[in-house]
Each structure stands twice: as structure tokens, then as C-alpha cells.
Amino acid sequence: MKTMKAAVVHDFTKPLSIEEVPKPEPGPGEIVVKIEASGLCHTDIHAAHGDWPVKPKLPFIPGHEGVGIVESVGAGVKNVKEGDRVAIPWLGYACGECKYCVSGWETLCERQLNTGYFIDGAYAEYAKANAKYVGLVPKGVSPLDAAPLTCAGVTTYKAVKVSGARPSELVAIFGVGGLGHLALQYAKVAGATVAAVDLLDEKLDVARELGADYTINAKKQDPIEELKKLGGADAAICVAVSPKAFEQAFRSLARNGRLVFVALPADNYMQLPIFETVLNGIRIIGSIVGTRLDLAETFAIHAAGKTRVLYETRPLDKVNEAFEDVEHGRNKAPRIVFNQF
């Protein structure tokens, strides 16, 4: 039996273990991908710790920003071939038949299976994937750039898309980290004027470098007041994991404003005034990752040179140190990408 190196979760309270496991073989409709790069998404840490109500089945391999070269294909695979570079996203499988799937909302499929959670993920030398749910990485997009785009990119691209941001509008991005640094660029691509809100000046410097028109340090200034001075935000994208940021985002909206929820704060609740929501015609939208079409668009935008992905690389052997660094905010770049072993 062939084996491969992988980072495996055996216990939600223990570090991941780097070990030899059986190398996967593709079944019908499946492919095996030799992973070149895999991004670290905060969800991987929640998966490894079993933080969410529905927990992964142990043992499992995390990682849902996997990018690599198709090494082998199973029977019936038509959309990709050996040698193609593909991305393996969070949405590892959907039924293809329910009302969500047939209406282009496969991300809401109730029978979906998620990569690095219910399906072994990309923290390994090889990963098996359902061919229909991988994204083709265009030529000219490096695997290291493609990895964060596979979750952080597509998630924030979709959030900006559902916000309906238009060129005449002001979009506020609450939180400039792994997600926020991309969200603000998609809002710029949509033609909007962009205000970035964060608690750290270093992050706001990054936001300005990436094209933010206004930056607001919410520790030193009141973001509600500052955004109201600009006429109020027509859309606000919440990628900061704090209910307070969500409440500030709500209060910073102009009439007819849209509030898009993306981050998942551990504290699940916020205060939402009904009166102002009704009178100001506010729309609240939850947005979860993105579809296959959204991923293809995310890659096309990057291939056209319209976005920059900021990351630092680590070897996968150092996955536990990388998790700790992210949990303590010690990572220098907005995103960490493993360049495998």
C-alpha cells in the first residue's frame, strides 16, 4: 500500500500529528491531487478543536484551501484531466438536485459535504476530491496565490457580490485580516469607494496600500461617526469576529444600506434595532463561502491582475505553531499558506 505524509487530527484537545497515512485512490467521479499549497483558514482551527456544534468525525485531515496538480482521475471524470492545476474548496460535494443546487446556490445544499471537515482535506501530500466541485486554476495564477483565494477570496468576493455594491456607493469593510484585505479589493473592483475599519494601524496601512480610500481606527475614532460624515455606508461587510463590530457596522449604514454578515464570532448574538431597520430600509444578508462560478470569477479577477494576495509561507510540519500564531494574532501577513512538506 502506498502512503503519504499528512497532518491528522486524532483528538480535539491535542495538537495535529504529522504521520504516514494511506495515499488516497480516486473512485468514480473523483480525482487525486498532488497538493502544492494549502492555505490556513480559521475554520481549520475550529475543526481541529471541535468548536462547532456538528463536529468532524475523528480522525481527519483538515484544509480547504488546497491547490495542486491532478495526478489521477477516476471513472467518468470529464471536467478535469491529469496535469490540470485545481483548487479544492470548502464545498467538497453537493447533491446537484435540490432546489438550492439547481438554482445556483449549491453552497446552501443541505446534503453538502465540506472539505477538511467531513471529507479529508489538503493538509497532506495528496488529497482526494469530487471532480465536479474543484475549481480550475487559470495559467498565470500561482498555487500560493490560489490557495487563499480558494476560501478567503471566494468568500469575500461573494459577500461583495451579494452586497450589491455599485460604483457610486461607499462600502465599509469591518476587519482587515485574511478576509478583509481581499474584501476591500473586491469592493474596489466593483467600483465602490471603500472605507476600511480595524483596531490596528498596521492593518490600516495595508488597507491603504491595497486601495482603501478611507481608513478608520475604531480604537481611536468612532467608526459610526466617521462613516456618517461620509454620508453613511451603502454596504458594510462584517469580517471582524466581534458582535460590537457588527453593531457598529449596522449603525454606520446609510438609508437603503445592506449589512453583510461573514465572520462567525464565538459570541453569537448582537443587538439589532427593529425600528431603524424598518424606517431606513436596511437589508441584512448572511453570506457563506461561494459557488463554483464565484470561485471561477475570483480566479479570473486575479488572473487579470486586479487583486493582490498577502500571505506568508510555512512548511506543513509546523502546522501546530502556525495554528498558535493565528490564534494569538502573531502572523505577520494576513494569511498563512503551507507549501506542504
* Residue 209 vs residues 75, 183, 206, 307: alpha-carbon distances, Å: 47, 14, 5, 12
295 binds Zn ion (CB under 5 A): no
DSSP symbols for 201-253: HHHHHHHHHTT-SEEEETTTS-HHHHHHHTT-EEEEEE-SS-HHHHHHHHHTE
Chain centroid, CA 213 distance in Å? 23
Rounded CA separation 255/253 (Å) = 7
Per rule CB under 5 A, is residue 159 in the interface with Zn ion? no
Residue span binding Zn ion (CB under 5 A) among the ranges 86-94, 243-251, 257-265, 306-314: 86-94
Secondary structure (DSSP) of 73-139: E-TT--S--TT-EEEE-SEEE--S-SHHHHTT-GGG-TT-EEBTTTB--SSBSEEEEEGGG-EEPPT
> Is 215 an interacting residue with respect to Zn ion (CB under 5 A)?
no
Nearer to Zn ion, 208 or 314 (CB): 314
Region near Zn ion per CB under 5 A, out of 16-24, 70-78, 144-152, 232-240: 144-152
- Binding part of the chain for Zn ion, among 39-47, 158-166, 175-183, 234-242 by CB under 5 A, reads 39-47
Residue 41 is a binding residue for Zn ion (CB under 5 A)? yes
Residue 95 interacts with Zn ion (CB under 5 A)? Answer: yes
- The greatest distance separating any two alpha carbons of the chain, rounded to the nearest whole angstrom, comes to 66
CB of 111 to Zn ion, least distance (A): 5
Q: Could you give the dihedral angle defined by the CA atoms of residues 100, 103, 104 and 107, in that order, rounded to the nearest 10 degrees?
A: -10
- 109 is a site residue for Zn ion (CB under 5 A): yes
Give how many residues touch Zn ion by CB under 5 A.
8
Enter the C-alpha cell of residue 290: 461561494
The region of 21-29, 51-59, 101-109, 252-260 touching Zn ion under the rule CB under 5 A is 101-109
Using CA atoms, how far apart are residues 81 and 293, in angstroms rounded to an integer? 19
Q: Which of 43, 115, 185, 193 binds Zn ion (CB under 5 A)?
A: 43
- Nearest approach in angstroms of CB 131 to Zn ion is 17
Cβ proximity to Zn ion: between 70 and 149 the closer is 149
Q: Which stretch in 94-102, 129-137, 238-246, 270-278 sits in contact with Zn ion by CB under 5 A?
A: 94-102
Q: Does 98 bind Zn ion (CB under 5 A)?
A: yes
CB of 98 to Zn ion, least distance (A): 3
In the complex, which residues of this chain contact Zn ion (CB under 5 A)?
41, 43, 94-95, 98, 101, 109, 151
